[in-house]
Structure 1
Amino acid sequence: MEIDGLISAIFIGIVIGVLGRLAIPGRQRIGVLWTIAVGIVAALIGSALAAGIGVADTDGVDWIEWLIQIGLAAVGVAALDRVKARR
């Protein structure tokens, strides 16, 4: 992965993490860095899943891929929030 790919993955991860956090109602007890980390992981896994089912490379915006990534980020934020709440 080149540096421009890494920078774009971080930027997309930030956006995905924030959107995933906004998809969950209520207050989450995780910080901004955890949100970004969850977003980056969700973006990478979501891209792999979208490529696996054949919806990653379409003409225009890949809405299904974005929805998969945001859904994974929401699940990740909720899971991390639940783990933090138990401590």
Structure 2
Amino acid sequence: MNVEDLDIGDVIYAANTIIDDGSIPDGLEGEILAEAGTRGVITLIGYVEEEQARSVFLVRFEDKDMNLGSPVGCWVEDLTMEPRLIN
């Protein structure tokens, strides 16, 4: 199974640190949205109109208090199914 096989409601993790690229309404470009290894839940799966073969996942990542944040658009390569071990 891989990320593309997941569905809405499934748990996922940030594969790398996810940073606002300026596309989040009312967001701050350069702000860290999720550190690598942060757990989240998939809330929507769609595609970019210009690239219909490329999936985009809306993910709500947990904060340090385990509260879900606002949805963040992520590409498949931004996500992993395995939690990252922290040394």
Structure with higher Rg: it is 1
TM value normalised by structure 1: 0.27
Q: Which has the higher strand share?
A: 2
TM value normalised by structure 2: 0.27
The structure with higher relative contact order (CA 8 Å, sep 6+) is 1
Q: Which has the higher helix share?
A: 1
